[in-house]
A = this chain, B = another copy of it.
Amino acid sequence: MGHEEIRRKLAGLVPFDAGVHDKDFLLTWQYPDRTIRAVLAIAEILEDLARADVSARVFDTGLGLAIFRDKSTRTRYAFRAGCNLLGLMTEELDESTSQVAHGETVRETAAMVSFLTEVVGIRDDMFLGEGHKFMMQVSAALCESFEQGVSLQRPAVLNLQCDLDHPTQTLADLAHLASRFGGLDGLRGRRLAMTWAHSPSYGKPLSVPQGIVALMTRFGMDVVLAHPEGYGLVDEPLGAARRFAAESGGAFSVTASMEEAFRGADIVYPKSWAPARVMRERTRLLRAGESSRLADLEREALASNARFKDWECTADLMKVTRDGRALYLHCLPADVTGVSCVAGEVSREVFEQHRLDTYREAARKPFIIAAMILATRFRDPAAVLAGCLDRAGRRRLG
């Protein structure tokens, strides 16, 4: 894509207010549609610039800080790649080396690591009722630090996955869908099945299905959530999904049948998660240090999962989707039957057919993260991107 074409895209964005300048990016349902559209548009232009070998290094120095309270390869890389694309050096705090903890010490640690920091990316998805709270605590501490003259700027907190939402994933998913269905407006009326699927592990976070139903309902889609009885999600994103569906002219329904959800679907997203009840009990037991009860809980949860081995995305099931060829989404890694486990979320045949497409879906993540940084750190991100074109610095000087 030529510079002039990118410039025309940019012109279409002005006047531009993403609505999150000097704020955080935590839960998609907290922000208006224009914020969602802005992040997607910025991400697309950042990718265009990268393909055109135009440097988007808008920070000469500066830090992006990551706090991972769960293991991560993909999200860690995506955050680092997104920061690097804009010129931020990344630094990581992990609890074993840094003693970051809930409670009183959060605000102290947050203040200590904010002096020259532009963005703090946090992943805290394992404890239902905790992750989002932790991010809010960090955010409050960063506000206080800036307002009291401790730090030079107030870093933005980016949610890299919490107990409620996983916006970097779901916005990458949305960008992927937009690219396949002729833009966001092409999603209107499309049927998306967000369904539970069987996994031989327990304790998978709820953030992806919650984030998906709360985000995809905004664009006039017909979103169906399917899960066995007892695998319900938490109320807040479900409420957001119902509200957005009503506002956007889309639909949101819940069913206990995977097949029903798949029927006529344009897009399927079969993915395992733990029941909210189990995740809450898990948080309580971990906090109380009741490790023997924890083992019991795991046993019960796995036994429950085992009753729903037929919740697998198979070639037969795919046949009931629209024209038998729905787009398959997954946040990866998937539990693939016969590959990573005996009985998983998806059959080998279906996964292999869609594998590269799930990689393309994931490839959008660093650009989404970089777009969130631009949207939160600059008053006029479009002008910042236009500046990149004007300077025409190259990513690779060879």
Q: State the A residues within 8 Å of B (CB).
A: 50-51, 55-63, 65, 71-74, 76-78, 80-81, 84-87, 89-91, 93, 97-100, 104-105, 108-109, 111-113, 115-117, 144-145, 148-152, 332-333, 336, 339-340, 355-356, 359-360, 362-363, 365-366, 374, 377-381, 383-384, 387-388, 391, 393-398
In the complex, which residues of chain B have a beta carbon less than 8 angstroms from the beta carbon of A332? Answer: 108, 112
**Interfacial chain B residues near A116, Cβ < 8 Å:** 50, 81, 84-85, 366
Minimum CB distance partner of A396 in chain B: B59
Which of A58, A91, A115 lies at the interface centre, i.e. has the most chain B CB atoms within 10 A of its CB? Answer: A115
Q: Shortest beta-carbon distance, A131 to chain B, in Å?
A: 19
Residues on B with beta carbons closer than 8 Å to the beta carbon of A105: 333, 340
> Nearest Cβ distance between residue A352 and chain B, in whole angstroms?
10
CB distance from A137 to the nearest CB of B (A): 15
Q: Which residues on the B side are within 8 Å of A359 (C-beta)?
A: 108, 111-112, 145, 148, 150
CB pair A115 B366 closer than 8 Å: yes
The CB with the most chain B CB atoms within 10 A, among A65, A89, A366, is that of A89
Q: Is the beta-carbon distance between B112 and A84 smaller than 8 angstroms?
A: no
Contact status B112-A74, CB under 8 Å: yes
In the complex, the chain B residue whose C-beta lies closest to that of A151 is: B363
7 contacts between A and B (CB under 8 A): A71-B98, A73-B98, A108-B359, A111-B362, A115-B366, A388-B397, A391-B397
Contact A84 B104 (CB under 8 A): no
Other 15 A-B pairs with CB < 8 A, given A57-B397, A74-B112, A112-B332 = A55-B60, A60-B397, A72-B98, A73-B97, A73-B98, A73-B100, A74-B113, A76-B98, A77-B93, A104-B336, A108-B355, A111-B362, A115-B366, A148-B359, A377-B396
Point out the residues of chain B lying under 8 angstroms from A111, CB to CB: 359, 362-363
Q: Of all chain B residues, which has the CB nearest A56?
A: B61
Please give me the residue from chain B that is nearest to A50 by CB atom: B152
Alpha-carbon separation in the docked complex, A111 to B358 (Å): 10
By beta carbon, the residue of chain B nearest A145 is: B359
Complex CA–CA separation, A152 to B117 (angstroms)? 28
Q: Could you tell me the distance between the alpha carbons of A109 and B75 in the complex, rounded to whole angstroms? A: 11
Query: What's the minimum C-beta distance from A22 to chain B, rounded to whole angstroms?
Result: 12
Q: Are A61 and B71 in contact (CB under 8 A)?
A: no
Docked pose: A264 CA to B150 CA in angstroms: 28
Question: Complex Cα distance A383/B397, Å?
Answer: 10
CB pair A149 B60 closer than 8 Å: no
Chain B residues positioned under 8 Å from A355 (CB to CB): 108
* Minimum CB–CB distance for A128 against chain B, Å: 23
Contact A71 B99 (CB under 8 A): yes
Task: Return the contact of A395 from the options B61, B76, B363, B395 (Cβ within 8 A).
Answer: B61
Q: Is there contact, CB below 8 Å, between B113 and A396?
A: no
Is A356 touching B99 in the complex (CB atoms < 8 A)?
A: no
Bound CA–CA A192/B356 (angstroms): 49
Known: A87-B61, A150-B363, A363-B151. A73 touches B113 (CB 8 A): yes
Please tell me if the beta carbons of B73 and A109 are within 8 angstroms of each other in the complex.
Answer: yes
Q: Is the CB of A80 within 8 A of B91?
A: yes
Asked whether, in the complex, the Cβ of A89 is within 8 Å of the Cβ of B99, the reply is no
Q: Which residue of B lies closest to A88 (CB)?
A: B84
Residues of B within 8 A of A149 (CB): 360
Q: Is the CB of A398 within 8 A of B387?
A: yes
A342 to chain B, nearest CB (A): 14
Contact partner, A71, options B60, B97, B374, B398, Cβ 8 Å = B97
Q: Tell me whether A339 and B61 are in contact (CB under 8 A).
A: no
Question: CA A95 – CA B393 in complex, angstroms?
Answer: 36
- Complex Cα spacing A81 to B89, Å: 9
Query: Given that A85-B116, A333-B108 are contacting pairs, would A395 and B62 also be in contact in the complex, using a CB cutoff of 8 Å?
Result: yes
